[in-house]
Amino acid sequence: MVRVGVDESLSDELLNDFPQDARIVRIPRNPTSAVEVDFWILPFQRRDAAEAFSHLRGVKVVQSMMAGVDWITPWLPKNVVLCDGRGIHDISASEWVLTAILSSLKRFPLYRDMQLRQEWKGQASVADGFLNEGGAQVGQYRVLGDDLAGKTVLIVGYGSIGAAIEARLYPFGVNIVRVARSARPIPEVHAVADLRKLLPEADVVILIVPLTDDTRGLIGVPELGLMKRGALLVNAARGPVVATEALVEALTQHRIRAALDVTDPEPLPAGHPLWLAPNCLITPHVGGSTPEFIHRAFRFGAEQVRRYIAGKPLENVVTGAGY
């Protein structure tokens, strides 16, 4: 009998797929004594996770439901197997990225602000200066939004979410350029070492990398300086992947645009200059938070427990690289 630890408040509905030979152990949010579990399912980015773990005994596997595990690795002993939630977030995260891109290009945040002021004006090009009003349309109509079709989109972090993003972008007729830790031929993926060479050609740069020592500060002053004027930076990874001060400066100088689901610091405190930076759309780390996500997560968790009981290799085992 494998003891599977879950949060005390977890809905019974989410446990329906777990095998009968798994004994569910509900772990109190504030444990006062030791709790024996073999397999701990840690659903979300709990700030008290390290404290909760200190009360657990016998843990052999920790299954995170988050794609990023940078918040777990500092305190989890090396002899405990850690599995991440790679694949669980593909749908929700990729849909957020697509929404963020289209909302930014079509200037929805600007027009929402105008709606709240009850203003009926087409002012996008006046507000940011990025839209091209030269050429044949002069004197005919104003350019008030941008098209995604024909854009070059650079996906930095071509894993399962990156591939899901590409699939959703494909119908829009964009040119996809892929970047990962290492280059590979099919489909063509560039090594992250080539990032600076690729940035100047991108209209949209999507960050979907894990936070590791190698990716912290991946986008800083040099990288932001290489982006073309008016390019859109979409961060769906982790806040520290981008140097915040450099990002604020680039936005304030109206050199680029940004759509962020993550920030550094996070939560972003009131009064932080990023809140009011021009041409910046911010959501509070909600890209993966949908009702369907939690069901996908626990179906995956149940499958991992079945694998463990059967002695099969677990999926998504985190390596020394941090993912």
- Determine which one of 107, 178, 238, 296 is catalytic: 238
Torsion of CA 158, 159, 165, 169, to 10 degrees: 40
Q: Can you tell me the mean pLDDT for 182-209?
A: 97
How big is the chain by its Cα radius of gyration, in Å?
22
Q: Can you tell me the mean pLDDT for 243-249?
A: 98
143 pLDDT higher than 60: yes
254 is catalytic: no
pTM of the model: 0.88
102 pLDDT higher than 90: yes
Distance CA 50, CA 238 (A): 20
187 pLDDT higher than 70: yes
181 is catalytic: no
pLDDT cut 90: percent of the chain above it = 82
Burial 268-287 (b: 16+ CB within 10 A, else e): beeeeebeebebbbbbebeb
Given this model, what pLDDT does residue 127 score?
Answer: 54
Distance CA 116, CA 219 (A): 34
Given this model, what pLDDT does residue 141 score?
Answer: 61
241 pLDDT higher than 90: yes
Q: What is the band of 106 on the pLDDT scale with cuts at 50, 70, 90?
A: very high
Q: What is the band of 140 on the pLDDT scale with cuts at 50, 70, 90?
A: low
Query: Three-class SS of residue 124?
Result: helix
Q: Can you tell me the mean pLDDT for 12-21?
A: 94
303 is catalytic: no
122 pLDDT higher than 80: no
Given this model, what pLDDT does residue 139 score?
Answer: 57
Considering the chain, what is the average pLDDT of its residues? 92
Q: Count of CB atoms within 10 A of residue 147's CB?
A: 10
Q: Can you tell me the mean pLDDT for 72-77?
A: 94
Domains of the chain (ranges plus CATH)?
2-88+289-310 (3.40.50.720), 90-106+146-282 (3.40.50.720)
177 pLDDT higher than 90: yes
Torsion of CA 41, 46, 51, 53, to 10 degrees: 10
Q: Can you tell me the mean pLDDT for 69-97?
A: 94
- Determine which one of 89, 178, 285, 296 is catalytic: 285
Q: Can you tell me the mean pLDDT for 2-23?
A: 94
C-alpha distances out from residue 207 to 67, 158, 176, 237, Å: 14, 9, 13, 6
Q: What is the band of 120 on the pLDDT scale with cuts at 50, 70, 90?
A: confident
Distance CA 55, CA 34 (A): 5
Element (H, E) at 125: helix 124-128
Given this model, what pLDDT does residue 320 score?
Answer: 80
Query: Three-class SS of residue 61?
Result: strand
- Determine which one of 95, 201, 249, 266 is catalytic: 266
Query: Three-class SS of residue 6?
Result: strand
Q: What is the band of 132 on the pLDDT scale with cuts at 50, 70, 90?
A: low
The per-residue pLDDT for range 252-303, each reduced to its tens digit, is: 999 999 999 999 999 999 999 999 999 999 999 999 888 898 999 999 999 9
Contact between 15 and 6 (Cβ < 8 Å): yes
Q: Can you tell me the mean pLDDT for 30-53?
A: 89
